[in-house]
Every structure is written in C-alpha cells, then in structure tokens.
A and B are shown apart, each in its own frame.
Chain A
Amino acid sequence: MIIKDNEEIFSEELKSERFFIQVKRSFAIAKKDLKIYYNKGPVVIQGFLFPLILFFAFTVGRNIIPIYLISGLMAMVMFMTSTSIGPVVFPWETRSKTLERLIACPISIKTILLGNIWSSFIFGCVFSIVPLLLGILFFGLWASINILIIILGIIVASLAFSSFSLILSVPPTDMPANTMILTILIKFPILLLTPIFMPIHAAPYGIVSPLTYYTDIINVGLGESSAFGPHGLLLDFCILILFGLGFTFLAFVLHGKTLQKRFRG
C-alpha cells in the first residue's frame, strides 16, 4: 500500500453520485438507530407508555364515535412514536462519544440527521398501523376506509414529525434527560392543541398544530369529509410537507451550528 507521487489517492465522484452515496449511508445510520434505540427508556416511555396513558385519559368515560377514536389514537401514536427516537440520539451519542466516531467517518452531519429521520420515520409508520388494525378489527371500519389516503398520510406525517423531533435535540447537551424535559414541554402543548378524539371544527385553535392536518387526513381516510373544505385533503398534505421540509432545513442549520459545541474540552 505504499503511495507513489503520481498515484491517485482520492476517488473522484460526481456531485449527484456524492448525494446518492450520502443517502445510502444515511440508511446505515437509520438501521443502527433502530437496532440500538428502540428499547431505550425515553423511547419506551414516550413511544409506548405516553400514548397508552393519554389514550385512556382522553377517552375513558367519554362517548366518542369510532372514527374519531381511531383517528385520535393514530394521531397520538404517530406523533409520540415518530418523535421519540430523534431527541435522544444526539445527546446519547455525544455522551458515549460515538458521535465523534460518526463525524470522523466520510459522512456529513446532514447524513447523520437524515439517518435519524429515517429511523424515526420507520418507527412512526410501524406503530401507526397498530391502531388502524384495531379500528378495522373492532369497529369494522374497513367498509369506509380509503387505504391509499391513510398510507400516504402516515408516510408524509411520519417524515414531518421525524424532522420535527430533530429540532428538539439541537441544544448541545449530552444528557438525554435534558432533551426529554424540552420534548415534553413542546410536545404536550401541541398534543393538547390538536382536536383529537373530537371533530376538528370543535377546536378552531387546532389549526396551529401540524398534528391537526394529519388527524384530518386520517378522518378523510376513514370516511369523514375534510374539516377544511373540498380541497382540505390537498391542504393537509401541503401543510405537512411544508412543515417537514421546514423542520428538516431548520434541523440541518441548527445542528450544524451546535455540533462543534458537543466536542469541546
């Protein structure tokens, strides 16, 4: 492996190739995240326990029609699970010094963030299917269901909330508990603002929450009409896509700014 003066040391690749290489490598990050973090305390608490507890807190003793029950549960599970891995990965990896290892590899911070988005996305998608299956099994919702709308809704919302979750890990802390506090402080008001387990028009302030648009998509997918008029579904998708892109861009910028602070001292 002795290098001669005229030997080509660096491989040349086109910009487009570079992009696809980085996307491919982000899948490796996602695979690793899913293997390591799915059973970590904060993920289990926020991804499984909170939706379960909140579901009972919201629904017990109330007469809720099956469509709102299932769309509400799906919205809550989607929001909580797709935002459960993202906030803990960075502090965890800062603490265990594995982030240093990743940064020393031929990948960019964007690749790492993209990998985190994929893992949260898969987590959110898989767990959103559970309440849907429950609805089909126990409430016979299969008759009115539009599976394409629901699947598209799950995919778009899961990507949007996964990118949102990365914003929560921007502070350069190495204590997952610190981001947990921030996460709860931000996620719960969003959840409370969203008109879940009820008609969307019953809570007009819900328009500020991105989760409202996902709830509307699921309502439409389960046979309801959109709360935002005839083009409501299109509006829902557009808003979620905009939220997703905006959060991703913001996460790239903010993490780029705080990354160096994680390796100090």
Chain B
Amino acid sequence: MNAIVVRNLTKYFTPSKKEKKKGRARNPSLESRKQGNNSIIRAVDHIDFEVKNGEIFGFLGPNGAGKTTTIRMLTGILKPTNGEILIFGQNFWNNPIKAKQIMGHVPEEANVYMDLTGLENLSFIGELYGISKKERISRAEQLLKKFELFEKRHLKSKKYSKGMKQRLLLCMALMSNPKILFLDEPTSGLDVQSSIIIKKLIKDYNKNGMTIFMTTHDMDVANEMCDRIAIINRGKLIGLDTPENLKKLKQEYQAVDFYFTKEAKESELENLSSVKEVRKIRDYYHIIVHDLNDGICEIIEYIKSKNLKVKKINTYEPHLEEVFLKMVNGGDDY
C-alpha cells in the first residue's frame, strides 16, 4: 500500500498587491517562474509521485524549487490549487483532520513555543492530538530522553540551542507516534552531534515501519538515508528513482586515478577498450572509463604486461550531487 499518492499536484500563488507594486515575489527564487508583474507564480507545477509505505522518500531541489510548498500541501498547511493527495488511499482534503491525526511534521524553521518549556511544548502538542494527560507526560519524557533533552525539559525553549530546538521539533512531531513523518530540511545548519542523533533516530523510526518524507538539499543526507529520491526544479519533478539508479544517469563520471612508479604511455592506455579518455595530471593519470569494474581490470592487465608498478589508485563513482546538478542545470526530463 502506498502511504502517499500525489496526482497532478499544483500550487499557484497570486502576487499580493505589495508584490505587484514592487514587481517582485516575496521569495526571489519564485520570480523566475512568474510571467509578468500581474501573473501567477507557479510554485509547484503538476507533479505526480508515490511514496511507498515504510520507505524514506527524499525530496531534493535547489532553493525555491517548490520543496517546502509541496511539504506544506502534503501536511495541510497550504491548499493545493489543483491535484489530489491520497494518504493511505484516502483523499487528504476530504477529511484533513483525520489525515493529520496520523502525520507528524518537522518544519524547516524552528517553530517551538519559545515561552514554553520543552516538556510543555510536547504536552501541548500531545493535547492537540487527543492524547491523555498521563500518556502524553510518559511519551514526552521518553522522547526527551531519547533525544537527549531530558535534563533540559523544564527550561524554556528560547534558551535551547538550534540543534536542541530541532530535536525538540522532532520530538513534537513524534508525540503522536505518526505513521508518516514529514521532515523539512531536518539537518540543515545543525551541529554535528545533533545531526548524527537526528539521522540515527530517523533511521530507527523508519526501521520500525514509519514512512518518512524528507526534503533536503544535502546530497550526502539524501544519499545516505533515502530509499528513493525525487528531484524537483522550478516546480516540476525532473527525476525520481533510487539513489543508485539516479547515479547511473551520470555514467561518464566513472573514472579512476592511477599513480605509477614510472611514466605510462597515454596513447596505449587510450587504446584499451574500456577506456574513454586519459588525462595526465601532474604525477597521475586520470582515466575515464565506460565501466569502473571492467576498466580497472583491463588497466591492471595492461600494467602487468608493461611491468608497471602502482603507487596508488583512486576511484571516482558518480556522485548524487553531480546527478542533481546535471538534472537541475541541464534540464533533463526524467
């Protein structure tokens, strides 16, 4: 069963009077998607995707691509201009309260109540989800312990560091034990400790069956954590697959650097069937291959035949970041 199905999801914004007067959108990155001063801004433009139950689904895109607008529509904050959102087969907008009952949301910007303590913030959210007092105190304390905030539970949230606030936000989203967790840039701008804690706990919750939908512009986070990734640019979905399959789209980046003890002949290396191109850079050879595995085997055979000795080998696998840049800048449609 799919946890989320999105069909033809669209969000257009009409510029406010102020924006029309100034001739610019509130979010400058949306400006490029605006046609003329008075026209609509296409923040999300007819996108379709499915999120499988129990997977970590990454939503990647540059700033202003439409990631946050999408997550806001999926969590019921923004009403779509067009399209359909199904949560476990039920239309979200037929009964948004019912759908929201099984969701948790961690927004990008810390929006805890600064004048409430960590424990009060959690208890308040628990109350909004209809959790009994005894249960919400017990759940809150468990979460605070898990996220290493228990010692500071009686401290007002305004005294928390950014990382602590982000962890508290995650606790708030997990208070209701949601079936789907939405995370908007969960590790953005965090210290290493908070980032590690959050990533580990997200994985743990996912292992227990929680579906995770996360937006990020951090390729390493996406690569490390996500089962599948969708790439959005200028409001349109331009790619959707597993990180491994997406990386295959960037095959030409498969290369290997060989450091030999003595000079090799570039022309001979170039004549090898699995080699595409050879570049001599300082004391090593940067060899671009069709296939990394075949290439290395063939080059090693060549080395043996020429009695060369290898000092060091570095391999280059296609990186998700390169795929992302290629898709975003190259405008490749998926």
The interface residues of chain A lying within 8 Å CB-to-CB of B255 are none
Q: Which residues of chain A have a CB within 8 Å of any CB of chain B?
A: 1-3, 5, 9-11, 18, 21-22, 24-25, 28-29, 31-32, 35-36, 96-98, 100-108, 260-261, 263-265
CB < 8 Å: which of A96, A102, A264 contacts B128? A102
CB < 8 Å: which of B99, B111, B130, B209 contacts A100? B111
CB < 8 Å: which of B25, B79, B97, B113 contacts A18? B97
Contact B13 A264 (CB under 8 A): yes
Cross-chain pairs A/B with CB under 8 angstroms, 24 sampled: A1-B177, A1-B209, A1-B210, A2-B208, A3-B3, A3-B54, A9-B88, A9-B102, A10-B90, A10-B99, A10-B101, A10-B102, A11-B101, A24-B130, A25-B130, A28-B128, A32-B124, A96-B111, A97-B107, A100-B107, A100-B111, A106-B129, A263-B77, A263-B78
Q: How far is the CA of A138 from the CA of B109 in the complex (A)?
A: 53
Say what secondary structure dominates the interface of chain B: loop
Interface size class of B (residues with CB under 8 A): 35 or more
Stretch at the interface among B114-122, B265-273, B284-292, B317-325: B114-122
B72 within 8 A of A: yes
Q: Which residues of chain B have a CB within 8 Å of any CB of chain A?
A: 1, 3, 13, 16, 25-27, 30, 53-54, 72, 75-79, 88, 90, 96-103, 105, 107, 109-116, 120, 124-125, 127-130, 172, 177, 179, 208-210
Distance between A67 CB and nearest chain B CB, rounded to angstroms: 40
Q: Known: A28-B124, A36-B115, A265-B25. Is A100-B100 also a contact (CB below 8 A)?
A: no
Contact A264 B75 (CB under 8 A): no
Distance between A99 CB and nearest chain B CB, rounded to angstroms: 8
The interface residues of chain A lying within 8 Å CB-to-CB of B114 are 96
Q: Known: A9-B179, A105-B125. Is A35-B115 also a contact (CB below 8 A)?
A: yes
Distance between B181 CB and nearest chain A CB, rounded to angstroms: 11
Contact B100 A32 (CB under 8 A): no
Q: How far is the CA of A108 from the CA of B30 in the complex (A)?
A: 29
Contact B100 A105 (CB under 8 A): yes
The interface residues of chain B lying within 8 Å CB-to-CB of A260 are 78-79
